[in-house]
């Protein structure tokens, strides 16, 4: 005969319930936790853009034609637009506010509006094209490692409440 055994330590469950109840009752604690999670999510997103160069699902970003991180090169950087907003003790959200952030998150195809071809410089040479496809390089989202880091932070936060 085979089976599965399960043992539950109710003392730990009651202790966890106490912490969660306390968090729910003290909106200042909830607001503080969400503020910290917003800062963490913002940091994780910036790290993805600066060094990790992978989508939240772990997929490596496709390289660009110039062979370096165009997102950090010039102008208004995508990284600089990463921000979070905490709505009291209710929710927190983070993302990118740059007007072209969606192009990098989802990809895009650019075609000329009035001319027959697009004109731009690539590696110091003038290039003409009927269209340019920019592949998606998603940076907003929560990877498995991000989720683990968030979980650890929440656990530490609840532990500090109990102290």
Rounded alpha-carbon distances, angstroms, from residue 34 to 30, 69, 95, 96, 125:
6, 31, 15, 18, 48
Give 50-118 as a DSSP string. Answer: III-B-TTSPBPPPPTTSS-GGGTSSS-TGGGEEEEEETTTEEEEEE-STTHHHHHH-EEE--SSSSSE
Q: Three-class SS string for 2-51?
A: CCCCCCCCHHHHHHHHHHHHHHHHCHHHHHHHHHHHHHHHHHHHHHHHHH
Task: Answer yes or no: pTM beyond 0.85.
Answer: no
Structure tokens belonging to residue 148: 């683990």
Residues 120, 29 contacting (CB under 8 angstroms): no
Q: Is 125 helix (H, G, I), strand (E, B) or coil?
A: strand
pLDDT at 16: 67
pLDDT at 153: 92
> Tens digit of pLDDT for each residue in 40-87?
999 999 999 888 989 999 999 888 776 666 667 655 678 889 999 998
Give me the residues paired with residue 108 across strands.
134
Domains of the chain by residue range:
12-162
Task: List the pLDDT tens digit at each of the 163 positions of the chain.
Answer: 445 545 555 666 666 666 666 655 565 788 888 899 999 999 999 999 888 989 999 999 888 776 666 667 655 678 889 999 998 778 899 999 988 899 999 999 999 999 999 998 877 899 999 999 989 999 999 999 999 999 999 888 888 877 6
How far apart are the C-alpha atoms of 136 and 107, rounded to whole Å? 4
What single DSSP character describes residue 153?
H
How far apart are the C-alpha atoms of 11 and 154, rounded to whole Å? 20
């Amino acid at each position: 005969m085979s089976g599965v055994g399960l043992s539950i330590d109710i003392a730990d469950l009651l202790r966890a319930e106490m912490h969660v109840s306390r968090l729910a009752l003290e909106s200042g604690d909830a607001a503080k936790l969400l503020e910290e999670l917003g800062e963490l999510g913002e940091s994780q997103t910036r790290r993805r853009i600066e060094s990790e160069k992978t989508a939240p699902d772990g997929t490596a970003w496709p390289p660009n034609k110039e062979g370096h991180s165009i997102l950090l090169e010039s102008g208004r950087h995508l990284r600089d637009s990463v921000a979070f907003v905490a709505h009291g003790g209710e929710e927190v959200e983070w993302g990118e506010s740059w007007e072209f952030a969606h192009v990098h998150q989802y990809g895009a195809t650019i075609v000329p509006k009035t001319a027959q071809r697009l004109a731009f410089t690539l590696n110091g040479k003038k290039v003409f094209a009927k269209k340019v496809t920019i592949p998606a390089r998603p940076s907003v989202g929560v990877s498995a490692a991000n989720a683990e880091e968030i979980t650890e932070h929440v656990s530490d936060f609840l532990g500090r409440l109990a102290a």
